[in-house]
Amino acid sequence: MIPFGDRLAAAMDEYGPLCVGIDPHPNLLQVWGLEDSAESLRTFAMNVYEGCAPYAAALKPQVALFERHGSAGLAVLEELFARAAEDRVLIVADAKRGDIGSTMKAYADAWLGTSSPLGTDSVTLSPYLGFESLRPALDAATANQRGTFVLALTSNPEGKSVQHVGKAEDTGAVAKQIIAAATVENTAQTWEHMGSCGLVVGATVGEALKELAIDLSTFNGPILSPGYGAQGASAENLYRIFAGAESQVLVNSSRGVLSAGPQPTDLARAAQSARDDLVRVRGAV
């Protein structure tokens, strides 16, 4: 199988840089005229899938919003993952898993293993027990040609208390160290276009990259960037932040697309509009 990073690069070339979030928040289910139930999750997820898959390089279900419905919610995820695998639509499971030792290995088996019904193309990870605590997941991703997206520099204000620490020291801020570790991880892999260990960097981080002396143009993997559209970042602002790494940025949009639902045809128009906006601005950079 082709490594995840190269499969994602091919998908971004074919479909554009858009990633659509599948985020069935209770209030959005209500707006869509759906009950807050597992069956409604299925309707929601499949409508987004049908409408948006033709215009997105990947789809990103927010795992917690399925977990809140227990085993029935996870069954919807399993069905979604199976359909995506059959259609060769890439999935980013937004689970933000992070632990140590055998527990991290169990998470790796669940989300990146080949025998788990939750196993899928890629998963988001939290490195704040130490980057190397993620080793079981990183190794599983490499062994199974799957991918990871490691939280590096997020746009939530609480993140600064951890991610910005150490910027005056020789090693740089914590976020900079995470990015450096992910770069090394990709260097150890074999790939053609980009590695399979990605980063999560918010589209609304503003001047943080400059303030922390982070240069993403030297990063050698994909960058998942939430915050485009309804969360405040325009395509112009986004590509200015990621100057030098534009081709690696997988741009997530959730509310901006999902607010067009519930009909797949309306979701398709919203996804196509977002995709076209990103392609237009990226091409002008």
pLDDT in tens, 69-127: 999 999 999 999 999 999 999 999 999 999 999 999 999 999 999 999 999 999 999 99
| DSSP H or E run through 59 | strand 58-61
Which listed residue (96, 105, 160, 167) is catalytic? 96
pLDDT confidence of residue 194: 98
pLDDT confidence of residue 175: 97
Count up the domains in the chain and report the number: 1
CB 209, CB 216: distance < 8 Å: yes
Confidence of residue 230 (pLDDT cuts 50, 70, 90): confident
pLDDT confidence of residue 229: 82
pLDDT confidence of residue 112: 99
Whether residue 9 is predicted with pLDDT greater than 90 in this model: the reply is: yes
- Percent of the chain past pLDDT 70, that is, above it, reads 99
CB 264, CB 54: distance < 8 Å: no
Whether residue 206 is predicted with pLDDT greater than 80 in this model: the reply is: yes
The phi, psi pair for 228, rounded to 5°, reads -75, 140
Partner residues linked to 198 by β-bridges:
149
CB 174, CB 164: distance < 8 Å: yes
Radius of gyration of the CA atoms of the chain, in A: 18
DSSP type of residue 228: B
Write out pLDDT tens, residues 14-58: 999 999 999 999 999 999 999 999 999 999 999 999 999 999 999
Confidence of residue 231 (pLDDT cuts 50, 70, 90): confident
Chain mean pLDDT for the chain: 96
CB 252, CB 60: distance < 8 Å: yes
Write out pLDDT tens, residues 126-181: 999 999 999 999 999 999 999 999 999 998 989 999 999 987 677 899 999 999 99
Partner residues linked to 125 by β-bridges:
97, 150
In 3-state terms, the chain is what percent helix, strand and coil (to 5)?
Answer: 55, 15, 30
Residues 250-279, mean pLDDT to the nearest whole number: 98
Instruction: Please state the pTM of the whole predicted model.
Output: 0.97
Residue 262: cis peptide before it, omega within 30 degrees of 0: yes
pLDDT confidence of residue 168: 67
Residues 225-247, mean pLDDT to the nearest whole number: 92
How do beta strands 223-225 and 90-97 pair?
A: unpaired
- Residue 9's identity, in one-letter code, is A
Residue-number span of the structural domain to which 23 is assigned? 4-284
Any idea what the CATH number is for the domain that residue 11 is in? 3.20.20.70
Write out the two tokens for 114.
Answer: 């080949």
- Residue 43's identity, in one-letter code, is T
Max Cα distance, the chain (Å): 54
Q: 210 catalytic, yes or no?
A: no
Instruction: Give the DSSP per-residue string, 94-136.
Output: EEEE---HHHHHHHHHHHH-SSSTT--SEEEE--TT-GGGGHH
pLDDT confidence of residue 285: 61
